[in-house]
Structure 1
């Protein structure tokens, strides 16, 4: 039997989930936060950074902001895990420079233990306890990261296409509009965009819509209103993709605030 429990802060970019999945498969997606979780039982497999990885019991998943990945069970009985999403602004308060995870699977009992304590504090502790455990978890995380490299321009830069999607994510953009913005051919645009952001332009647009949906749901909008405002065909379409990418329904996400 599958189950999920979701928690999110009402006043800052901090969320957590405890879940057990047997058949759910995460569609390829990304988060606008640092995401790290510990597998408690079973094993989960996922594709990230051009390869397939497996996180077994006791190992930590580590995703950078905007790092595309999917996920599925890698054991007959499914897997149980805890995951925390920490906004870059919170990490910046605790580390002198924004980090980049070196590896998507980390073998660190210290980090796994810090994550478990943080997860418990988020759901059950006081505000002070939450802040303290967040500090401990980020410091444990820092041992497994390296500084973000400076941004450099590359031939076939797809950033203009990304900017257009960001500005008009709820609209029905065409490939022609993106090629005009970048000066690239359709094939060159697709190849450069996927190489840079880990998602195709259409996947990136859907991801952007889902992130806006999270913001609107957290602000009190209904799922039906949110679907209309973010460009989804209807509430059912929003719910289907929300569950595929985040493992919960929009309604469950809206109820999760404390």
Structure 2
């Protein structure tokens, strides 16, 4: 039985991170985003996946895909159990492979589900060679597992996009709502209302989310939590603790200190990684 939640990292693959959650009832999220591309599978139960104004129910056998910056949340339905595996891949690595990210946000394809389980098995097996090439091959094959892209309509709003860019550029600064209004040329009331409609959270929540992302990157390096909190713009370690747990359903310490899965932690639903392919 795997733990309620465990993060996986490997120094040999610094551009990728995974998370195994054995009991999703104990891992609930506020709306948040990631700087990486995220893809994963629901391995048990069912949950509600919300992205912007869209909300769907996903269950075991489903796969979810999230582009960087997409605000989303996944939470249990009426306290029902569910479990999942997620993979977070850094954009510079994906771009270096010349890969095009898919439009779809979820899939019920059994072929994709099985292929993702196989990929997790390969990544978690540190005795298996050529894992980076295996990961690259998966993303190269990904389009054929997905339905034809239906296209996403994304209305242009340069001032709101400028507000978001301003927040990202100044996320560690003592930023006020008035600073953002001046930078994008919008009134306070309009900015709050329109920003939430476009990005799924208020400017303040977006700022906290950006600070959590900065802290997450530094914690992966094993840095002291108090130092990371101040550098990311939080008032203190406790402030980081609250914001981090709301968005990642894990404390900064748990996130920083959990590492590679031991053989005994291997999720029982993973197939064995194939041998003799090195």
- Shorter-chain TM-score bucket reads 0.7 to 0.9
Task: Provide the secondary structure at the position in 1 that maps to 2:50.
Answer: strand
Q: Is the 8 A contact 2:31 2:200 kept in 1?
A: no
Q: Is the 8 A contact 1:29 1:69 kept in 2?
A: yes
2:131 is equivalent to residue 130 of structure 1: yes
RMSD of aligned Cα (Å): 2.7
More strand by share: 1
Q: Is the 8 A contact 1:54 1:105 kept in 2?
A: no
Deviation of residue 199 (structure 1)? 2.7
- CA separation of 1:234/1:100 partners in 2, compared to 1, >3 Å: closer, same or farther? same
In the alignment, the residues of structure 1 paired with residue 151 and residue 122 of structure 2 have an alpha-carbon distance, to the nearest angstrom, of 29
Match of 2:191 among 165, 189, 192: 189
Q: Which runs of 5+ in 2 are unaligned?
A: 261-278
In the alignment, the residues of structure 1 paired with residue 231 and residue 58 of structure 2 have an alpha-carbon distance, to the nearest angstrom, of 37
Give the TM-score taking structure 2 as reference length. 0.81
Aligned length: 255
2:246 corresponds to: 244
- CA separation of 1:190/1:14 partners in 2, compared to 1, >3 Å: closer, same or farther? same
Deviation of residue 131 (structure 1)? 1.7
2:40 is equivalent to residue 40 of structure 1: no
Task: Give a deviation string over 1:169-199, Cα, whole Å, max 9, x none.
Answer: 1223111111111111112222443344333
Task: Provide the secondary structure at the position in 2 that maps to 1:22.
Answer: helix
Q: Which moved more, 1:16-25 or 1:33-42?
A: 16-25
Matches within 5 A, 1:26-37: 26-37=29-40
Q: Is the 8 A contact 1:117 1:133 kept in 2?
A: no
Deviation of residue 218 (structure 1)? 2.0
- CA separation of 1:184/1:84 partners in 2, compared to 1, >3 Å: closer, same or farther? same
Matches within 5 A, 1:1-258: 3-10=4-11, 12-19=14-21, 20-74=23-77, 76-96=79-99, 98-102=100-104, 104-126=105-127, 128-143=129-144, 144=146, 146=149, 153-154=156-157, 157-257=159-259
Q: Is the 8 A contact 1:118 1:130 kept in 2?
A: no
Q: Which runs of 5+ in 1 are unaligned?
A: none
Give the TM-score taking structure 1 as reference length. 0.86
In the alignment, the residues of structure 1 paired with residue 223 and residue 215 of structure 2 have an alpha-carbon distance, to the nearest angstrom, of 9
Q: Is the 8 A contact 1:122 1:130 kept in 2?
A: yes
Q: Is the 8 A contact 2:27 2:250 kept in 1?
A: no
Task: Give a deviation string over 1:122-174, Cα, whole Å, max 9, x none.
Answer: 222347342243134313432327599899853x6223322332232122311
In the alignment, the residues of structure 2 paired with residue 105 and residue 148 of structure 1 have an alpha-carbon distance, to the nearest angstrom, of 14
